[in-house]
Amino acid sequence: MGWFWSLVLKSNALAGPIVMLLYPLYASVMAIESPFKEDDQQWLTYWVLYSFVSLLEMAAAPVFAWIPLYSTIKLAVAAWLVLPQFRGGFILYEKYVRPNFQNVTGYSGAKLTESQRKFLATISPETRSSVAKYIEAIGPESFENLIQKELEESRKKRAEEHQQGAVENPHVE
């Protein structure tokens, strides 16, 4: 029976980095390349949790060394977090990390529409921070109304300029 535990412990040395680093790195790059937001959230959540566990391990390494089969348990938990069938990272984040983060920081993380996200992607990080505070204060619906109003005014202004002949762009037919 001693050979079995020796095999289990040695397999963790190979399986651990594959499950906890190599596959998540691959899946993260695939998520970046995909047009969907959900996979981005899954992998960002995984990396947040992985970083948290790594920091915890650094701080409490002597304690974890005394836990029998710690590396095997850690590998099983990492597989639960990583495998898309379980979405463990997302579940853990929604149930524990997000509520505690909101309690500590007071940031509620207002839900944004796709057009709001696209708009925020076009502005500088400093402006984005100010807009995020504004959205938190007035709500995403009011922000959407403000964006729509500004777009309409911009379209009207361009139409008026075009009618007056003030805009002559050789690239526009």
- Final residue belonging to a domain, choices 74, 107, 140: 107
Asked whether residue 66 falls in the same domain as residue 128, the answer is no
| Tokens at 95, concatenated | 């149930």
Tell me the per-residue pLDDT of 99-146, one tens digit each, with 9 for 90 and over. Answer: 887 777 666 665 666 666 666 667 776 676 677 777 777 877 777 888
Asked whether residue 74 falls in the same domain as residue 153, the answer is no
pLDDT at 59: 92
Give the domain extent around 54. Answer: 1-107
Asked whether residue 85 falls in the same domain as residue 131, the answer is no
Asked whether residue 95 falls in the same domain as residue 32, the answer is yes
Give the whole-angstrom CA distance, residue 120 versus residue 131: 8
pTM of the model: 0.53
Contact indicator for 147, 113 with CB cutoff of 8 Å: no
- The secondary structure of residue 72, as a DSSP letter, is H
Give the whole-angstrom CA distance, residue 157 versus residue 21: 52
Residue 126 identity (one-letter amino acid): E
Asked whether residue 57 falls in the same domain as residue 129, the answer is no
Any domain includes 173: no
Give the whole-angstrom CA distance, residue 89 versus residue 68: 24
Any domain includes 87: yes
pLDDT at 113: 66
Tell me the per-residue pLDDT of 1-39, one tens digit each, with 9 for 90 and over. Answer: 567 666 666 666 667 777 778 888 898 888 888 877 777
- Final residue belonging to a domain, choices 58, 85, 107: 107
Residue 78: pLDDT band (50, 70, 90) is confident
At a CB cut-off of 8 Å and minimum separation 6, what does 127 contact? none
Contact indicator for 4, 63 with CB cutoff of 8 Å: no
State CA 123 to chain mean position distance. Answer: 19
- What is the count of structural domains for the chain? 2
Asked whether residue 1 falls in the same domain as residue 84, the answer is yes
Closest CA to 139 of 121, 120, 114, 113: 113
- Final residue belonging to a domain, choices 107, 125, 149: 107
